[in-house]
Structure 1
Amino acid sequence: MNSGRQQIQAKKNYLISGRAALEYIIRDILEEHSVDSVLMPSYCCYTMLEPFVRHGIKIRFYDIFYDEEKGLCAKLPEEDYTEVSKENHDNEIFYYMTFFGFSQLSGLDVKQIRDIYGLIIVDRTHSWLSDSTFQVEIDADYTYISFRKWTGFYGIAEAIKQHAPFVLELGTVGSEYSEHRKEAMMMKNDYIKWQRTIEVDEHLSHATEIAEAEGQKKNYLNKYDEAEDFLDEHYVGNKPTTECVYQLLLADWNFVKGQRRTNAVVLLQGLRDIPEIKLMYGEQSEMDVPLFVPILVKDDRDGLRRHLINKQIYCPVHWPLSKYHQNISNQGKEIYNREISLVCDQRYTEEDMNRIVDAIKDFFDKKSVACEQVTNIRDYVCN
C-alpha cells in the first residue's frame, strides 16, 4: 500500500452511482490485497461485472435459478467445497446480493462462504430498505447501495467498509451526470402528467395521442441514454452533488416502504392463480420491501411486455444477457429469458396495481381464445 496516500478517516462514502461505489471498493481492496477473481451471482447486470473486468479480475459465477418448490435458489460451484479448493480462494472475492427487496434465497451456507472466500462484498441495492439483516452482511468486508433505484434521485450511492477507514480519496463532484439525470426525470414527469391529461380529453384522436406519447417518450429516453453514456466514461471516483445528498436525507422512507408493500400485496394476490406465469416470490414477508414484483412468463414474455406497453404500463426486464454471461448454466439463463419486473413503487396506487393485474389477465385471456379458435378450425378442417 502507498503509505504516502492520505487516508480518509471514514468507513462510509457517497459516490455518484452504484457502479462508481463498486469501483471505489475494488480500488480500495487492491490497495491492500492481491485479488485474482470474483465469484458473482449468475443473475446480475453487466454494469456489476464491468468494474472487475477493467481491473483484470477474473469473473466466475455461482448459479442463481428458479425452483418450482423452493423459489429463487443459489448454488455454489461444487469444486469450491473441497479442502484443497478452500486454500485457493484466499485471493477471491465473494459477491452477495438478494433480489428485488425480497429476503428469500435458498441454498447458500453463510458460514461456508466466510470460511472459503477471502473477501466478501455485499450489494444491498435491492435489500437496503428491508428490515432484515443477514449474517453474510454482518460478515461482509464491504457493502454498497445504489439509492437511485428506489426513487427519483439524480445520482447517489453509498460505499461502506466494515472494519477500517477507506484508504482512497474521492474524485470530483459528478455534477454533469446529475444534471443529465435531472433533466431526463423532469421530462419524464412532464410526460406522465401529459398522459394523465389526455386520458380524460375526449377531443384528442387515438392516433394523435399515440404520436405525441411516442415523441415525448423518445425525448426523455434519449436524455436518459445521454446520462448513462456519460456515466460509462466518467464514473470512477465521482462524488454526488450536494443536492443529491439532500434528496437522500430528506426522502420520506416510511412512505416509500409502506406504499411499495401495499402495492406488492395487490400484485401478488391478483396474479397468483394465473397458470401462464410464476411469481418469483409467492409472498411478501414482514421484512420485505419490494423494489419490483418479478414474474416469470412461461411463454411469450416479449408479447406480454408489448401488450402492457400498449396500455401505457412500462415494466422493465432484469437484466439483458451480456457477453460476460456466456458460460452461465441453462437454468440460470431461464430467468433472463422469462422475467418481467412489475412496477410497484410509491408513485403508484392500488388502483394502478389492479390495472396491471387486469392487463395481464386480459393478455392471457385473449391468447386462450385465439388458441381455442385455431383448434376449432383445425378440427373442422380435419373432419
Structure 2
Amino acid sequence: MKEYGGYFELENFRGNEYHRQAIRLNSARNSIVYLMRAKKINKLYIPYFLCNSVKNILIKHNLIFEEYHIDKNLRPILENKLKNNEYVLIVNYFDQLQDIEIQEFKGAYNNVIVDNTQSFFRKELQGIDSFNSCRKFFGVPDGSYLYTDSVLTENLERDKSYERMIHLLGRFEVDASSFHSFFSKNDAKISDIPLKKMSKLTKNLLSGIDYDFAFEQRMNNFNLFFHAFEKENVLNLTPGKFCYPLYIENGEYIRKKLIEKKIYVPILWPNIQYSEGASELEKSFAKDIVNLPCDHRYDENDVKFIIEEVKRCIN
C-alpha cells in the first residue's frame, strides 16, 4: 500500500542517466554473471592482471577459465582460437582502448566481452558485450550498466543500497580516513551480493550527476598530468578519464610518500604482486604504477599541487 504524508525521503532527481539504454545491474561482477547465464558461456579467458574478485566469482559459478598475459601496452597476448561458447574478457585498462582496437579484437576472437570498469563514458559498440562500474567513477554505493543483445529470462529482484551509503555520507561531511573501514566493508559486501537489478537509490543518484562537467573536468585534469609527466612515464598513453597511471621507477616509494600527504593513490590490484602466474611485467605494473586522481572533484589548482608533490618525490 502506498504511503502518504509524513517525513521526506531522499529527493527524487529528475536528470538523465548517462547510459539510459543499457541493462541496469547491481555490480560489474554481476554483469559477468548475467552474461555467463544469458550466453551459456562454457569457458572464459581472463587476464592475470585483474583483481581476484573476478576469478572468485567464476569459481563460485563453476565456470572454467584460463588466464592470459598482457604486454607493455596493456594489450592482451592471446593466440588461442576460441571455440563455441568460449569468450575472452578484455579489460580496458585506464580507459586506453580505442573503439577501433576493440572492433579488431572482435574480428580476431569473435566472442568478446569488454570490461569497461575503468571507462564509464564508453558507450555501446554494436554487437560487442560490455559493462562498466558506476562506483569507480561516482559517489554511489554500487551499480553497473551492461550492453548486450543477450537477454536473461530470469525475473531478477531489485537490490537495495541504503546500508551501503555510510562511507559516502561520512566522507561527504567529515573526511576519507575516518570512514575508510566502512569503504572496505562495502567492498567486501559488493563481492558477495547476488545478481540483482540496480537499486532505486543508485539509479536515482545517477540521475542527478552533471555528466558533461565530469567528462570535461576529467579530461582536462588527465591532460595536465600527461604534459607534466610525459618524459617520466614509461607507459605510452592516450587521453583517459579514470585516473592518470604514472608508471615510473620507485613508484612504490612515491605512492607511500603521497599517501603520507593525504594524496590517496591506491594499488588497484595488490594481489598481482603475489600471483604465481603473473609475469614480472605485470607484477611491476601492480607495484610501480602510481594511480594519480584526475576525477571531477578536483580543479586545475588541485592537480598542480599533486604534480608538485610527485615531482618532489621523484627528485
Q: Which amino acid aligns with 1:19?
A: R
Shift of residue 322 of structure 1? 5.2
Are 2:249 and 1:298 equivalent residues in the alignment?
yes
Cα deviation, residue 349, structure 1: 0.9
2:181 alignment partner, one of 199, 222, 246: 222
> CA offset at residue 125 of structure 1?
2.3
C-alpha deviation, 1:229, in angstroms: 2.6
Instruction: Please give the alpha-carbon distance, in whole angstroms, between the structure 2 residues aligned to 1:109 and 1:318.
Output: 23
How big is each residue's C-alpha offset from its partner over 1:253-289, in whole Å with a ceiling of 9 and x where there is no partner?
Answer: 1000000011111111112234xxx2534442xxxx4
**Counterpart residue number, 1:356:** 306
Residue 293 of structure 2 is aligned with which of 330, 339, 343?
A: 343
Describe the shift of the 1:112–1:269 C-alpha distance in structure 2 as closer, same or farther (beyond 3 A). Answer: closer
Are 2:34 and 2:152, in contact at CA under 8 Å, matched by a contact in 1?
no
Give the counterpart of 2:145 among 158, 168, 177: 158
Helix, strand or coil at the partner of 1:149: coil
Structure 1 Cα separation of the partners of residues 311 and 273 of structure 2: 35
Q: Distance in 1 between matches of 2:274 and 2:268?
A: 15
Query: Quick one: distance in 1 between partners of 2:105 and 2:198?
Result: 37
State the one-letter code of the partner of 1:191.
Answer: V
Alpha-carbon offset, residue 20 of structure 1: 2.1
SS for the counterpart of 1:263 is helix
Structure 2 residue 27 is the aligned partner of structure 1 residue 54: no
Where do 5+ consecutive residues of structure 1 fail to align? 1-10, 81-85, 193-215, 366-383
Structure 2 equivalent of residue 250 of structure 1: 208
On the 8 A contact 1:101/1:127 being kept in 2, the answer is: yes
How many angstroms apart in 2 are the aligned matches of 1:153 and 1:61?
Answer: 31
Alignment partner, residue 5 of structure 2: none
Paired residue secondary structure (1:159): strand
Equivalence map 1:301-316=2 (5 Å): 301-316=251-266
- Per-residue deviation at 1:341? 0.9
**Contact 1:65–1:73, Cα closer than 8 Å, also in 2:** yes
Q: Give 1:110 shift.
A: 5.0
Letter aligned with residue 53 of structure 2: T
Residue 212 of structure 1 corresponds to which residue in structure 2?
A: none
With normalisation by structure 2, the TM-score equals: 0.83
Structure 2, unmatched stretches of 5+, are 1-20
Alpha-carbon distance in structure 2 between the residues aligned to 1:161 and 1:139:
8
Choose which of 47, 68, 92 in structure 2 pairs with 1:41: 47
Q: CA deviation at 1:116?
A: 4.3
Contact 2:252 2:287 in 1 (8 A): no
The answer on whether the counterparts of 2:50 and 2:272 sit within 8 Å (CA) in structure 1 is no
Q: Match of 2:13? A: none
Q: Secondary structure of 1:148's partner?
A: coil
SS of alignment partner, residue 264 of structure 2 = coil
Aligned 1:1-383 pairs, distance under 5 A? 12-30=22-40, 35=42, 37-66=43-72, 71-77=73-79, 80=80, 86=81, 89-103=83-97, 110=103, 113-114=106-107, 116=109, 119-130=111-122, 137-140=125-128, 142-162=129-149, 164-173=150-159, 175=160, 178-192=161-175, 217=177, 219-233=178-192, 235-274=193-232, 278-284=233-239, 289-299=240-250, 301-321=251-271, 325-365=275-315
Q: Going by fraction, where is helix more abundant, 1 or 2? A: 1
Structure 1 pair 104–334 and aligned structure 2 pair: CA distance change class (3 A)? farther
Identity %: 20
SS of 2:88's equivalent?
strand
Residues 1:168 and 1:280: Cα distance change in structure 2 (over 3 Å): farther
TM-score normalized by the length of structure 1: 0.69
Whether the aligned pair in 1 keeps the contact of 2:221 and 2:299 (CA below 8 Å) is yes
CA distance in 2, matches of 1:268, 1:122: 25
Query: Equivalent residue for 1:197?
Result: none
Instruction: Give the superposed CA RMSD.
Output: 2.7
8 Å Cα contact 1:93-1:120 kept in structure 2 = yes
How far off its partner does 1:159 sit?
2.4
| Partner secondary structure for residue 186 of structure 1 | helix
